[in-house]
Amino acid sequence: MEKQRVCVTGAGGFLASWVVKYLLSTGYIVHGTVRDPDDEKYGHLKNLENAMGNLQLFKADLLDYNSLCASMAGCSGVLHVASPVPSGAVLDPKVELIEPALNGTCNVLKACTESKVKRVVVVSSGSAVIWNPNWPKDQPMDESCWSDKDYCRSSGNWYSLSKTEAESAAWEYAKKNGLDVVTVCPSLIFGPLLQSSMNASSSVLVKILKDEVEEMDNNDRRIVDVRDVAEAVLLAYEKPEAEGRYLCSSYCISTQELIDKLQSMYPNYNYPKKFTEGKGMLKLSCEKLQKLGWKCITLEECLADSVKCYQEMGFLD
């Protein structure tokens, strides 16, 4: 596919910032949607290599269709990364998560049709895959597995429901309107930050290192590095043979095993010492993404680069 103009929604976020960085480094002209292009918190984008002359930030809102159309004008591709993520207790899941994710995705896709975009990559989530109690326990989960919406509702898993609703709506729209859509479904994302603020997934690791959680469930955690997810998004966009969904996860490790590994690397931090019995989770198969040429860095490198970044940015005392 020609390296022309590509629009990235939510360009200032954790993953989206790395996507923008990789696009700029390989010669793309990038349109990034943000809430306020003049806000200093997006300064890291303007300082990226090749940003001068090749990056344009647009004031846009996922629920404002016209602003999305303006940001996509002249773009051959759209990478839809923006999505609401809860930072605390969800009081009204419909208003705070489900409707913004669902309506925002639909608006993006409609704007893509209006702008005659050639391909759209929607960043969904492993949360739209793994919450399926009926999946065979001896079979690794793959792209054919979908989270059960009723199960998400009954268990109060509102974030997973929002991602499942948004992705399923994306596929329904693509089928009905003939839009070339590919989705990437990453698991829990760690890795170094480009933005100045802490994000939800990185805070999980920071809380472990700072012993801010008195007791933790010893659940299996599926982890992937942010740089590997950004690479997966670009592969999904650039590879002509890319189609359908792509699971994106590198490692599965229990909470206690993760803490043991961190403790061996960084013995001077205080770590949670109490664990409740966790639920063993099914494995994920990323074979489909690997066939596109995707490779991932080691878990040790991911953790080391994450911790070094947190230390340098003052998030770890």
Per-residue pLDDT, 2: 53
CA-nearest of 127, 7, 121, 126 to 69 is 7
List the beta bridge partners of residue 35.
none
Three-state DSSP string of 202-251: HHHHHHHHCCCCCEEECCEEEEEEHHHHHHHHHHHHHCCCCCEEEEECCE
pLDDT 10s digits, 81-110: 998 887 677 789 898 899 999 999 999 999
Active site residue 163: yes
pLDDT 10s digits, 289-300: 999 999 999 999
Per-residue pLDDT, 3: 66
Say if CB 81 and CB 33 are below 8 A apart: no
Helical H segments across the chain, by residue range: 14-25, 43-46, 65-72, 93, 99-114, 149-154, 158-177, 200-209, 226-238, 255-265, 287-290, 299-312
Other CB atoms within 10 Å distance of the CB of residue 299: 17
Rounded Cα–Cα distance for residues 126 and 285 (Å): 11
**Which tokens is 133 given?**
């109690």
List the beta bridge partners of residue 184.
123, 246
Query: How do 119-123 and 274-276 pair as beta strands?
Result: unpaired
Per-residue pLDDT, 101: 94
Rounded Cα–Cα distance for residues 250 and 224 (Å): 5
Rounded Cα–Cα distance for residues 291 and 295 (Å): 10
Per-residue pLDDT, 273: 84
List the beta bridge partners of residue 221.
253
**Which tokens is 53 given?**
């002359």
CA-nearest of 69, 61, 111, 119 to 238 is 119
Rounded Cα–Cα distance for residues 212 and 220 (Å): 19
CA-nearest of 19, 45, 73, 13 to 238 is 19
Q: Which stretches of the chain score pLDDT less than 70?
A: 1-3, 87, 278, 280-281
Query: How do 55-59 and 29-34 pair as beta strands?
Result: parallel
User: Annotated catalytic residue: which of 59, 110, 163, 210?
Assistant: 163
